[in-house]
Chains A and B, each alone.
Chain A
């Protein structure tokens, strides 16, 4: 419940600086909810794939000076 507040602020902040909406996901899954876990992971994977490789906050040490 504390985390809900912290994630709300963090999500807003990351989207505010230009991290695309859809890269960051939150879900509430109990250890008994195997099906919900499976479906959520599939949905997150699909959403992130659709966005393509991340462009920001990436440090490619082969490229940087």
Chain B
């Protein structure tokens, strides 16, 4: 029996189905393991879901022209962030690094020169993601870059559901009635960037632009958002996209 929740957005259907279809069709054994592990069912309470915060640094914003330079993973649950299980990789982008992006990241040309290609770390990366629900801040970077990068190397992509802490923040600060009223009054919208969002929950300032620190920062932000606006019983299907 399905419970009807009036006034709440229905869970976006299709992610579990998509993952099982891919599991059946995929050729690469690493991706096969990932898709077979699947994701938590949409009605799993967020408080019980195994999660993994994912953050990347890239050479730019367009996945067709730019590439990944580093990836950070931090497994966690609503109760605990398991920092000791963190994973972090620097990867060598196929295109040379621009000076501007060197300044922006902590990563230098010499770091990159010795770094492995994305494909060499794929095994470890999908092992860290498999069976867990990914949490990112601004899904329009992590997901398309990873999908495009994997597709370029293996001929098949890597797509999965994510909880986007930025869009959870936008629900509060961009789309709510109060936010629309503020906009109508001509007030500037609240910033929903990672570190501005964290400040609203009393979370400390970290020096950003390191994929692992930002992944940790994202995990902490989700814990704070759920503790403040949601409930550990909230089904993940209402949160992912």
Chains A and B belong together in one complex: no
Residues of A within 8 A of B (CB): none
